[in-house]
Amino acid sequence: MTKTQAARPVADLTPAEAKAELARLAPLIAEHDRRYYADSAPILSDAGYDALRRRNDAIEARFPEFRRADSPSLRVGAAPAQGFAKVTHGEPMLSLQNAFTGEDVRDFMARVRRFLAGLIHLERDQPIEVMGEAKIDGLSISLRYERGKLVLAATRGDGHAGEDVTHNIRTVAEIPHAIGGGVPAILEVRGEIYMRHQDFFALNQAREQAEEPPFANPRNAAAGSLRQLDWRITAARQLGFFAYALGQTSEPVAATHQGLLERLGAWRFPVNPLARLCKDVDDMLAFHAAMGAARAELGYDIDGVVYKVNRLDWQEQLGQVSRAPRWALAHKFAAEQAETRIADIAIQVGRTGALTPVAILEPINVGGVVVQRATLHNEDEIQRKDIRVSDTVIVQRAGDVIPQIVSVVLARRPPGSAPYGFPAICPVCGSRAVRAIDPVTGAPDAARRCTGGLICPAQAKERLRHFVSRDAFDIEGLGRKHIDAFTEDKLIATPGDVFRLHGKSKEIAEREGWGPQSVANLTAAIEARRTITLDRFIHALGISQVGQATARLLAREYGTLDEWVRAMRDAADPAGDAYRRLVGIDQIGPAVAADLIQFFAEPHNLEVVEDLTREVRVQSTAQRPPATASPIAGKTVVFTGNLARVTRTAAKTGAEALGAKVSESVSKKTDYVVVGADPGSKAEKAKMLGVAILSEAEWLDLIGRP
């Protein structure tokens, strides 16, 4: 009935084929959804439909980067209006007893044997097989399938009731929406949602760029990503899943835990391959040791192993004590802590200018990994823990990722040590480093930031990329790649250098991928931008919080570069007129004002602006006259037809500069319609509505132009 039977196996698809196939499936599935839900007239069997969705899911699982915005896997009903609904689990979600030593494990097995022997006949030396599994460090989830369809996904919550996160779980590519092949009518699959290290690092990097606080570890990142009210946010994060247990089922699915894992795998749930059937405690401890050794290389966090009695009938008989099964045990890895000394505290400057302190440690082996650096997060963290150079500290590898300092061993602090003084100067460029104050809450930003954005080598690439970008200087042919290469090779360091690149034509032409012609093109593109409007110039400087719209407001208010720079410097006096004028601009508040003032308080930035003005010509902007000065201030004007003396665009800009609102359509609210030659329907409409109609000459007269 469908083409899927004949379609190529997902495993054989090339990336291009996969992309094309997803493009074919999205509208196709949408069409079947519409027939099914809207028309109640499906033309495809349930099995055929499920096959399409499964194929789509499988391709997305293999190529998550190709998941389309209109992917069927993202399409779900309406999200709950507020928070998450509470839902009761079909069977409670239990927790596990913990063990930390081999002795604990022996005790556990002895307990299991004693308990079973009291219920059934057990030979003295009869083996009790146990499955050892990796203990994934994520958050547990319960997936409820009814007749093979995913109907509910819930977090653990208090074990009896959790939160309904179905919408979000549907965006996790690895979780099937429908399963087939001898599935019980009711099936609750339990497992762990987690985040791989690479996705965790990428997410944190993106958050840092967006100036959002990073997640401390992959588990927090996974939990934070799942507990999003907007499922689109979850969809944008890469979450993984491993199935490892069942909750409620309407019929038995296997005789052993090993058999259960196999069935889960056959239903296309990801099952962690790190599992081993153990015959005795020695086997179990060997498995624990092997996992401990392998853990650093896995690419995701595990925090121990879980042992589960393999026979499910025995599990049943063993039952549970106070919310933990008697048949399972979590054998945690030893806390990964060690003691060492802080040799120094280094300051790293990130691409956005944030100063991050890093402890340089005397190298120490922490749980099998040599650690030489530990993050100190920020200034407040150092102060809170009173961390000093030469202190002896406890270092911990948190979730296998970034080593952290847990505490200072005060007893071993050398006499005469002093609290750490956080630098107020950027160690890379020597500019002042400041903590922005939130003008509303009065709280300082967690990060101290370098104010030398334009000259700071640590931030140079980022700033220069912005400087030449489309909405800034718009230099064609000078892309990210070139900016990176040119800054690395010291051909450019500051914005002014871009306009002096022509002096380095020879050097550039000799570079790989360049020749005389491409250099000539680049030079021409740069020359074409030697004249720039004031708003673009302001925007190009990349001042924090000063985007395109704010740059336009500033250009309109101050008109010329000189006037603007003078005003920004004068605005440093909060009691002065310049400050009042700045914050008096509609849509510019104290926070933006503070960033502007900060920028001009840094002498390096002034130098950059001065250097740049020697290279480029900044056009002045028509200033906004006082609101009452023009008869058209505040009026709504529509232009139509061909004007003779100015272009329509120029007429519009001129009208706006005089404080008028220019609109494209005529309504009762329109004050004037200015009519050129060959006017269209707008003039008709104006007549009908009785709006004032002006000829071009009358218009120029009105605004006082000869």
CB of 264 to ligand IVH, least distance (A): 12
Q: How many CB atoms lie within 10 A of CB 289?
A: 12
CB of 471 to ligand IVH, least distance (A): 47
Under 8 Å between Cβ of 33 and 26: no
Residues 79-108 that bind ligand IVH (CB under 6 A): 94-96
> Which residues, at least 6 apart from 463, have a Cβ–Cβ distance to it below 8 Å?
453, 454, 456, 495, 542
Q: Which is nearer to ligand IVH, 324 or 633 (CB)?
A: 324
**From the candidates 3, 135, 308, 685, which is the catalytic residue?**
135
> In terms of DSSP bridges, do strands 324-325 and 320-321 run parallel, antiparallel, or are they unpaired?
antiparallel
**564: burial class by Cβ within 10 Å (0-12, 13-18, 19+)?**
buried
Task: From 322-330, 465-473, 610-618, 620-628, give the range in contact with ligand IVH by CB under 6 A.
Answer: 322-330
Task: From 133-141, 172-180, 558-566, 637-645, give the range in contact with ligand IVH by CB under 6 A.
Answer: 133-141
Question: Contacts by 230-236 with C-beta closer than 8 Å and gap 24+?
Answer: 230/79, 231/74, 231/76, 231/79, 231/167, 231/168, 231/170, 231/171, 232/74, 232/171, 234/168, 234/171, 234/172, 235/67, 235/74, 235/171
CB of 116 to ligand IVH, least distance (A): 18
CB of 331 to ligand IVH, least distance (A): 11
Q: How many CB atoms lie within 10 A of CB 444?
A: 14
Residues 220-249 that bind ligand IVH (CB under 6 A): 244-245
Rule CB under 6 A: is residue 133 a binding residue for ligand IVH? yes
Q: Which is nearer to ligand IVH, 28 or 330 (CB)?
A: 330
Residues 323-342 that bind ligand IVH (CB under 6 A): 325, 328, 330
Q: What is the largest CA-CA distance in the chain?
A: 112
Task: From 128-136, 563-571, 671-679, 682-690, give the range in contact with ligand IVH by CB under 6 A.
Answer: 128-136
The helix, strand and coil proportions of the chain, stated in percent and rounded to the nearest 5, come to 40, 20, 40
CB of 105 to ligand IVH, least distance (A): 15
CB of 544 to ligand IVH, least distance (A): 41
Residues 28-87 that bind ligand IVH (CB under 6 A): none
Angle (deg, nearest 10), helices 603-615 and 561-570 = 170
Q: Dihedrals φ, ψ of 139, to 5°?
A: -135, 140
The DSSP bridge partners found for residue 308 are 131, 328
Rule CB under 6 A: is residue 467 a binding residue for ligand IVH? no
Residues 598-627 that bind ligand IVH (CB under 6 A): none
Q: Which is nearer to ligand IVH, 95 or 220 (CB)?
A: 95
Q: Which is nearer to ligand IVH, 84 or 244 (CB)?
A: 244
Q: Which is nearer to ligand IVH, 195 or 608 (CB)?
A: 195
Which listed residue (140, 166, 217, 640) binds ligand IVH by CB under 6 A? 140
DSSP state of 38: I
- Distances 19 to 63, 65, 395, 696 between C-alpha atoms, Å: 8, 9, 46, 55
Which listed residue (136, 374, 475, 638) binds ligand IVH by CB under 6 A? 136
CB of 324 to ligand IVH, least distance (A): 7
End-to-end CA distance of the chain: 76
Rule CB under 6 A: is residue 143 a binding residue for ligand IVH? no
Burial profile 625-634: b = 16 or more Cβ within 10 angstroms, e = fewer: eeeeebebee
Residues 487-506 that bind ligand IVH (CB under 6 A): none
Q: How many CB atoms lie within 10 A of CB 656?
A: 16
Task: From 135-143, 542-550, 569-577, 632-640, give the range in contact with ligand IVH by CB under 6 A.
Answer: 135-143
Q: Which is nearer to ligand IVH, 135 or 448 (CB)?
A: 135
Nearest residue (beta carbon) to ligand IVH = 140
Separation of alpha carbons 296 and 590, rounded Å: 48
DSSP state of 214: P
Q: Which is nearer to ligand IVH, 135 or 237 (CB)?
A: 135
Q: How many residues bind ligand IVH (CB under 6 A)?
A: 14
Burial profile 306-341: b = 16 or more Cβ within 10 angstroms, e = fewer: bbbbbbbebbebbeeeeebbbbbbbbbbeebebebb
Separation of alpha carbons 198 and 201, rounded Å: 5
Q: Which is nearer to ligand IVH, 328 or 567 (CB)?
A: 328
- Distances 307 to 183, 256, 269, 335 between C-alpha atoms, Å: 26, 13, 20, 19
- Is-catalytic flag, 481? no
CB of 226 to ligand IVH, least distance (A): 13
Rule CB under 6 A: is residue 306 a binding residue for ligand IVH? yes
Which listed residue (21, 192, 301, 336) binds ligand IVH by CB under 6 A? 192
Q: Dihedrals φ, ψ of 518, to 5°?
A: -65, -35
CB of 142 to ligand IVH, least distance (A): 10
Rule CB under 6 A: is residue 193 a binding residue for ligand IVH? no
Task: List active site positions.
Answer: 135
In the complex, the residues that contact ligand IVH under the rule CB under 6 A are 94-96, 133, 135-136, 140, 192, 244-245, 306, 325, 328, 330
